[in-house]
Amino acid sequence: MRVIARDGAHEIEIRRSRFVCTVARVGDVDAAAAVIARVRKAGPDARHHCTALRIGDSGGLTARSNDDGEPAGTAGVPMLEVLARRELTDVVAVVSRWFGGIKLGAGGLARAYSGVLSETLDKVGELRRVRHRELLVAAPHDRAGRLEHDLRNSPYSLRQQDYGADVTFTVAVPETAVGDFETWLAEISGGSLEAIDAGARDLYLP
């Protein structure tokens, strides 16, 4: 799955109608509702605030859209299709429209709403959301420097170091590569170091 790299907004004008698109990364439906409420409050004179959101992953994806008074299927649905086509998740999009007095027709509306969202997504950029496992590796102090060097020169992400009786390294490893990491760790340590699984973490990568 992919996510937006940052929150942002973008505006276009089509036949005197203003379309302002706001996108934000959100973790749940309540957070999305808060973004929608904020945009509505900031633009009370807009005639429509049309929305689309996708939250979660293939194991439990929530996808919703709202035309907010535009003809059915001309706003929220085209916006949702843009998000789905880009395989984006954890995102809410709000397009606010100030009517300029010239009707655009169903096709024109769909192109306007999907178009301003696509342009906004191009501007904010995208990242990959990759599920990792956080693995803990404890090493004696006299071996910690070498392990740190090896980790920083490996394909694995060293996230944290904690100093106590031993030095504990927190390493983020893609779920699909945990076996490879364990093999790598065994090879560089002669089988003397082991990894403990501390749970899942999502990382956002280019």
- Region class of 31: left (phi > 0), else alpha (psi between -120 and 50), else beta: alpha
Angle (CA) 192-194-198 rounded to 5° is 160
For residue 147, what pLDDT is reported? Answer: 97
Angle (CA) 172-174-177 rounded to 5° is 115
Angle (CA) 28-30-33 rounded to 5° is 115
Task: Indicate the pTM of the whole model.
Answer: 0.83
pLDDT for 75-88, tens place per residue? 999 999 999 999 99
Query: Region 28-54: what's the mean pLDDT?
Result: 97
For residue 130, what pLDDT is reported? Answer: 92
* Residues 29-62: b if buried by 16+ CB within 10 A, e if exposed: eebbeebbeebeeebeebebbbbbbbbeeeeeee
Q: How would residue 59 be classed by pLDDT, with cut points 50, 70 and 90? A: confident
Question: Residue 85 has what DSSP assignment?
Answer: H
CATH topology agreement for domains 2-124 and 128-205: no
Q: Which CATH superfamily is domain 2-124 in?
A: Impact, N-terminal domain (3.30.230.30)
Q: Domain 128-205 - what CATH class?
A: alpha beta
Q: Is 58's pLDDT higher than 80?
A: no
Q: How would residue 107 be classed by pLDDT, with cut points 50, 70 and 90? A: very high
For residue 87, what pLDDT is reported? Answer: 95
Q: How would residue 190 be classed by pLDDT, with cut points 50, 70 and 90? A: very high
For residue 197, what pLDDT is reported? Answer: 97
For residue 199, what pLDDT is reported? Answer: 96
> Domain spans of the chain?
2-124, 128-205
CA atoms within 13 A on the CB side of 128: 6
